[in-house]
Amino acid sequence: PADYVGCFVDYINVKKFPYTYGGVFYTNLTIDFCLHGCADDGFKYAALMSNDRQWCLCGNETNLDLARTRPLCESQCNTPCIGNVSQSCGGRYKISIYRITPMIEENGEVKSVPTYQRYRTAFNYLAISSQPLKSEVIHSNGLIAKVECAKACGYTIDCRAFSFSYLTKLCRLFGKTMQRCDADTTDWFTSVLNLV
């Protein structure tokens, strides 16, 4: 869930959002894809921008100057999303900003808080071909996919790393620290995180 904030200028030298979701642009970008991705990485804001490519950007309130910036007319953020032409993905150096609403469980726990801070990214965009620690893989949909993958690794006594696909939400657990040379299959949507 998210609240639409408005259309704003995103300057070339002073970026409102320093983080590009997944580190690459997406050829099938949609609003939901961007919102889920930013929330999954623990950010409070998501934004979509269309220059020569379409981008999903993430950030936190401390990186924004929304209080000093007036929103633009919506007509400046009306470039159709490539993944869903009925949606708008910002404009040229214009970003459509959404404030992400945390998901609350019945016991009051906030689901979208990143519980994977014990891990650091080892490398991105390569799938792991070696045998996972657990025979089954974990599927999780929505905002908490990477969080659930980190939890699963944390709850598994021999887990030292996990891989996570931004596209399929597929989670694999591994019993050793992973390096780039351990991956031999290209997958532009998978990241690997090692226990710190």
Domain boundaries along the sequence of the chain: 2-100, 131-175
Contact indicator for 146, 190 with CB cutoff of 8 Å: no
| Class at the top of the CATH hierarchy for domain 2-100 | alpha beta
What residues contact residue 185 under an 8 Å CB cut-off, 6+ apart? 126, 127, 128, 129
Residues of the chain where predicted confidence (pLDDT) is lower than 70: 1, 12-13, 22-26, 62-63, 67-68, 102-117, 135-145
Residues 48, 6: contact at Cβ < 8 Å? no
pLDDT at 113: 46
Q: Are 68 and 51 in contact (CB under 8 A)?
A: no
Are 35 and 2 a contacting pair, CB within 8 Å?
Answer: yes
Beta-strand ranges (E) seen in the chain are: 2-9, 19-20, 45-50, 54-59, 80-81, 84-88, 94-100, 119-127, 138-139, 161-165, 170-174, 185-195
d(CA 89, CA 79): 6
